[in-house]
Chains A and B, each alone.
Chain A
């Protein structure tokens, strides 16, 4: 369980995180989305007690992070996989964390196996790790204490497609087992597959949040038929908001509703789908365009 209430961080006149509030429930994965520099990392550092908040508060498992007794056993945190001493081996880094949080040595081997780092790789110095290996090591470190909550900043960064696939499975099974996961990303499709809820942030402000299905359906339903004009009329009669576009109609209703109306009117459908990933992608781009760096150019 993670709760964030009116969290704000100001650096002088610059507001990095502006009054954000959201919640991550046990058993769910929340994707924290936003373009680079949107304030995701700053928000996550505030949640983990590394950055003092200007105002607002956040709690993990019902307590402010700094009041957790042994946070390593309750919350798995990975904020920057590269923030490690390059001269230590992967195994040594986990060993240090294991001593600090008080788990037996055997957990180090478990965690290494869990993230798919071989013995030989674990003996190498982190200096010689690829970004993907560092991410795996960071995840191993986060999972070391068998926590209930995971807070991961850009965990898929640098992972190959198979690695991303693997990570999704791992986080899914973690959440299905009752765990709470908050992960950030600047790539929509990366989190879309795994997240239950989405929180979108741009220039420090939350621009959209809700369940993934809710946000997906906001993209509307795209429909194409043999007689779009008749369908348009039928949908309008049913008091459903409908817009005509080049490739058919975009309807502000569930695909089921649209299909039923078409059936009643005996209109043959050629295509019927929810806004889907494209809808969310478009929304992501449009929501963040106004606030992202490219905003003025776009």
Chain B
């Protein structure tokens, strides 16, 4: 099963890259054959590296959630850029590095969250504690209310992104 999934993903990427090459529909016959050969080879060599412990990412519900997630993500990204433009022009910053615990269990969701944090308003992921899955986030405009209690509330920092990450890859 791991072999089939890896080969299928490899073949689709190859087909995407060679689209528009020729005579048999969108692809030329040679590209289709060479792609299949290399997909089988890649699947045989890389199946344990490409797929971790289980096949939960095959669930179409997760992919659908990911596609829905792109809309609030894009909106947050636009907001982040206007925010940075404002700070570039006025120079008003009040930075800090804060520790948050998003309660995520696996690497995939943590990666997704860290990347989202970096691209959304006012935050940049700096480090991760791999034992406790806690993130250290550089926050450009600190809210003093959040700094008072020690297990920090992550909602003012990264909004609902941890919940999205849990739904997509958790």
Do A and B interact? no
Taking beta carbons and an 8 Å cutoff, which residues of A are in contact with B? none
Taking beta carbons and an 8 Å cutoff, which residues of B are in contact with A? none
